[in-house]
Amino acid sequence: MENRINKKFIQLKAENRGGFIPFIVAGDPNLETTEDLILELAEKGASVIELGVPFSDPVADGVTIQASAERALQNPISVKGILEIVASVRKKGCETPVILFSYFNPILQFGLENFAEKAKDAGVDGILVTDLVPEEAAEFRSILAENDLALIMLAAPTSSDERLAKICAHASGFVYAVSRAGVTGARNETSSDAENLVQRLRNHTNLPIALGFGISTSAQVTETWKYADAAVVGSAIVAEMMRLSPDIKEVPGDFVERIGEFAGNLLPKA
């Protein structure tokens, strides 16, 4: 399968540099601003953009991402609306890969085949389903593959080698390595288990490996690039969004620019 994700990681490898994957929750502070943020993050050097689909019971997320989802759910928001903003940024010429980060329930309610077809048409490149285990992934993976969509799978340090092999067998696009057990959230230092997990995954796949959960500084991105193909930063960016706009109904005029600057500063200087 050849899509924007594959092309981006091939480009990064050719340029001998790591990838930067920012995460934001769609609809926080509103969908219009989310569209502007996608364009801004792409402009500031995002390799791939993770777009969270807000869900009412986000058990894998830490307090920051949960709070962001709660803010988003105060707005009129739907999977259809999120796909429409992806379609809109594509019409504006944005070619940065976009993956949706979701729980399975909203996708199931949309209808698996319908979702995959609409996601492809909108210009989505991959899907990460937080609560989809490899034992139950075959049908959805097949549906996504028919629509040239990658299935990003999560791998945790607590997983056995046998389980990592199953995860990698179902994954496409890249594998998302979780730096530590538990929920999402910024940390002052990355887990010592992270590098070991990435090396273990290399034994089971040739796919690129992105590391996330807890990366919140430029120094941590630099450290991550020494052994992983990309660094995912979510909670740090989301926390800055909530700091700059504590009230979603009063978004500062320079909000998008300031978030872009914050995200850009997480990228190590060449």
Whole-angstrom Cα distance, residue 97 to residue 207?
A: 16
Q: What residue type is assigned to position 109 of the chain?
A: Q
Whole-angstrom Cα distance, residue 169 to residue 103?
A: 20
Instruction: Check the CA dihedral 74-112-144-213 and report its sign.
Output: positive
Instruction: Check the CA dihedral 157-158-162-167 and report its sign.
Output: negative
Q: Which residue numbers are catalytic?
A: 50, 61
Residue 148 has φ and ψ, to the nearest 5°, of: 60, 35
Whole-angstrom Cα distance, residue 182 to residue 138?
A: 25
Write out 115-143 in H/E/C secondary structure: HHHHHHHHCCCEEEECCCCHHHCHHHHHH
Token couple for 204: 């089971």
Whole-angstrom Cα distance, residue 79 to residue 82?
A: 5
